[in-house]
Amino acid sequence: MKNYRLFLLDLDGTIYRGKETIASGVRFVRRLNAAGKDYIFLTNNTTRTPQMVVDKLQQHGIETDIQHVYTPSMATASYLLGENPHQKIGVYIIGEIGLWSELLQHPEIELNEKNPDYVIVGMDTDLTYNKIKIACNAIRNGATFIGTNADMNLPSADEWLPGNGSQCTMIAASTGQSPLYIGKPEAVIVEMALAKFGYQKNETLLVGDNYDTDIKAGFNSQVDQLLVFTGITSKKDIKEKRQPTFAVASLDEFPL
């Protein structure tokens, strides 16, 4: 087995399930700390700031800091700045505090509802028809359409909620323009995270419970994957599919 130096860790379904702690996930993080391994919590959630992620992890018994968190909001900001060096970037944002605070902390990125360069769409539980209308008009007028992630549904307690992918699909259907997605399973967020933290793909392992987001992000970015069956994907779900590098029932089973 490779001596992995960096572990990209999913959250919901891997470390916790909603308000329920996954004890083996918490123990895994503690084992990483004891072994001197670096890790980043790589989430698709844009509704929380990095500090809010840290606070939630603390509720599940994990002490960490914002230097160990990477979100699609952060990757989106890096993408915009990289594509438009030394320029002002006008954006129209659909989303919540995690997305707004991350984008607008950069002085190069400014709100522009009338003629934005980009329409950025993240999960918004207060989504309105008017927000969709403004986004669609901007995209028709030439704005680049970016979706922070393509999750069609989100698990919540004992139900499924429409995710950001559902919001983006509505806008795409109206405008005829498909978004550029940043979050998992796209390679963009993985490559941005590795560039930010200074690691190579061949020394990194992506850990998660969702085959269609976490594991496919590993496939797409050519980073090894560890699928854990404590969340969305079960062993039978992947029987006829491309297999991850590793698969375990519990993270307690994976040696460091």
Q: What is the CATH number of the domain that holds 126?
A: 3.40.50.1000
Q: ∠ CA 11-189-152 to the nearest 5 degrees?
A: 65
Task: Give the whole-angstrom CA distance, residue 174 versus residue 255.
Answer: 49
**174 shares its domain with 117:** yes
For residue 70, tell me if it sits in a domain: no
| Residue at a domain's end among 117, 146, 181 | 181
Label residue 157 by pLDDT band (50, 70, 90).
low
For residue 205, tell me if it sits in a domain: yes
Average pLDDT score over the chain: 96
| Bridge-based pairing state of the strands 224-228 and 246-248 | parallel
Read off the pLDDT of each residue in 222-227 and give the average, rounded to a whole number.
98
For residue 224, tell me if it sits in a domain: yes
**173 shares its domain with 197:** no
Tokens in use for 70?
């990477």
- The four Cα atoms 241, 246, 252, 253 give a dihedral, to 10 degrees, of 100
pLDDT tens for each residue of 117-156: 999 999 999 999 999 999 999 999 999 999 999 999 887 7
Work out the widest C-alpha separation in the chain, in whole angstroms: 54
For residue 138, tell me if it sits in a domain: yes
**167 shares its domain with 135:** yes
C-beta neighbour count of 195 within 10 angstroms: 12
Q: What is the count of structural domains for the chain? A: 2
pLDDT tens for each residue of 164-198: 999 999 999 999 999 999 999 999 999 999 999 99
Task: Give the whole-angstrom CA distance, residue 126 versus residue 235.
Answer: 36
- The four Cα atoms 203, 207, 213, 215 give a dihedral, to 10 degrees, of 60
Instruction: DSSP letter for 77, please.
Output: H
Range of the domain at 227: 6-44+184-253
Return the pLDDT at 162. Answer: 94
Tokens in use for 66?
């914002």
Residue % of the chain over a pLDDT of 90: 95
Read off the pLDDT of each residue in 224-248 and give the average, rounded to a whole number.
96
C-beta neighbour count of 9 within 10 angstroms: 24
C-beta neighbour count of 245 within 10 angstroms: 16
Read off the pLDDT of each residue in 43-70 and give the average, rounded to a whole number.
97
Alpha carbon 136 to its chain's center: 24
Return the pLDDT at 44. Answer: 96
**224 shares its domain with 173:** no
Alpha carbon 112 to its chain's center: 25
- Which amino acid is located at 222 in the chain? Q
